[in-house]
Amino acid sequence: MSLAEKHTKIVKEIAYELGFSFCGISKAGFLEEEAPRLEKWLNNGRHGKMAYMENHFDKRLDPTKLVEGSKSVVSLLLNYFPSHNQNAESYKISKYAYGQDYHDVIKNKLRLFLQEIRNRIGEVDGRVFVDSAPVMDKVWAQKSGLGWVGKNGNLIRPQNGSFFFIAELIIDLELQPDGPIKDYCGTCSKCMDSCPTGALDIPYVVDGSKCISYLTIELKDELFSAEFNGKMQNWMFGCDICQDVCPWNRFSKPHSIVEFEPKADLLDMKYKDWEEMTQELFSKLFTGSAVKRTKFSGLKRNIEFLKNHETKK
């Protein structure tokens, strides 16, 4: 067994000890195939008003510019599929936001991960990333064989689905890379057919400017465009439609992570409860949650729009 293989075995052992669902390795380097795709996506304005997506173009495509001397990208998946869902008569929150903010939960795990690598292997330099830096996490996860990026833009893992957070370690340690797997979307177009706002009109290209997740979280405008009237399907934070309809997610199994469990009252809330929500209740439900990104005012804006333009079911 080569030194790279030995170190890879250790790294993967640590990943599973820390509770990560899956771990894959890629060789750090320039993402040549992604460069023209990213440029075209940005030039077509599919990032909406997320101006930050235009920043650090080179760093997004080359981890060696993010972490000097980096040799490997360690991609990790962590399951967040819940055992229970919200009340059917409620405005909806994406499943990933039911519990504590995943950025905080996973970053703590990653810091332990890097420290444990140093404990067992020696001095290793690197950085940890959880959806908060210019890293193309889905692309790296795909390169490392953890799944394929589907027509809905999500990483899909055969026999496991797509309800996973993605995180990375970019380190200066030579590891044995895993190869990619094939795309199993086939002729299926359920995600595209089910997207109410047309964000998935082109397979494998997400028009972020039309995505309900973008509209309810990233967009800071006081009002939504009239083109989305009656199309939001009562989503007030994020959207899971393209994942819920994906046939591969019939294999999803509930997570076992305490931090991702929802606050006691969250799943029982109904339309009227949300419409009458106060700042105090917002703070009680969402302290330490990803939902705090919208702030109370943002969530109220979303609820008001849904109240006026959606048909409750």
DSSP per residue over 232-270, as a string?
STTEEE---HHHHT-GGGGG------GGGSPPTTGGG--
Please give the DSSP secondary-structure letter assigned to residue 229.
T
Query: 53 and 157: one domain?
Result: yes
Q: Is residue 183 part of a domain?
A: no
Q: What is the pLDDT of residue 286?
A: 95
What percentage of the chain carries pLDDT values higher than 90? Answer: 79
Q: How many CB atoms lie within 10 A of CB 115?
A: 12
Question: Which segment of 52-61, 205-214, 236-245, 271-280 scores lowest on mean pLDDT?
Answer: 52-61
Query: 20 and 73: one domain?
Result: yes
Considering only CA atoms, which of 70, 63, 72, 78 is closest in space to residue 10? 72
CA distance 155 to 181: 12
Query: 150 and 29: one domain?
Result: yes
Query: 215 and 113: one domain?
Result: no
Query: 151 and 202: one domain?
Result: no
The answer to whether the beta carbons of residues 183 and 197 sit under 8 Å apart is no
Local confidence band at 124 (pLDDT 50, 70, 90 cut-offs): very high
**Mean pLDDT of all residues in 102-116:** 96
Q: What is the pLDDT of residue 62?
A: 84
For 129-162, the pLDDT digits (tens) are: 998 777 889 999 999 999 999 999 999 999 999 9
pTM: 0.92
Q: Is residue 254 part of a domain?
A: no
Q: Does pLDDT of 40 surpass 80?
A: no
Range of the domain at 305: 190-247+264-309
Q: Does pLDDT of 120 surpass 70?
A: yes
Q: Does pLDDT of 48 surpass 90?
A: no
Q: Is residue 157 part of a domain?
A: yes
Query: 57 and 153: one domain?
Result: yes
Please give the DSSP secondary-structure letter assigned to residue 65.
G
**Mean pLDDT of all residues in 278-283:** 96
Q: Is residue 180 part of a domain?
A: no
Query: 55 and 194: one domain?
Result: no
What are the angstrom distances between the C-alpha of 289 and each of 70, 94, 105?
32, 12, 10
Q: Is residue 211 part of a domain?
A: yes
Query: 72 and 144: one domain?
Result: yes
Query: 55 and 117: one domain?
Result: yes
Active-site residue (options: 125, 131, 172, 183): 131
Q: Among this protein's residues, is 131 annotated catalytic?
A: yes
Local confidence band at 224 (pLDDT 50, 70, 90 cut-offs): confident
Q: Does pLDDT of 49 surpass 60?
A: no
Query: Dihedrals φ, ψ of 304, to 5°?
Result: -65, -40
Query: 243 and 207: one domain?
Result: yes
Number of domains in the chain: 2
Q: Is residue 283 part of a domain?
A: yes
CA dihedral 284, 290, 296, 301 (to 10 degrees): -140
Identify the domain boundary among 171, 198, 225: 171
Q: Is residue 257 part of a domain?
A: no
CA distance 146 to 157: 6
**Mean pLDDT of all residues in 283-290:** 94
Query: 167 and 196: one domain?
Result: no
Query: 73 and 35: one domain?
Result: yes
Q: Is residue 182 part of a domain?
A: no
What is the rounded average pLDDT for all residues in the chain? 91
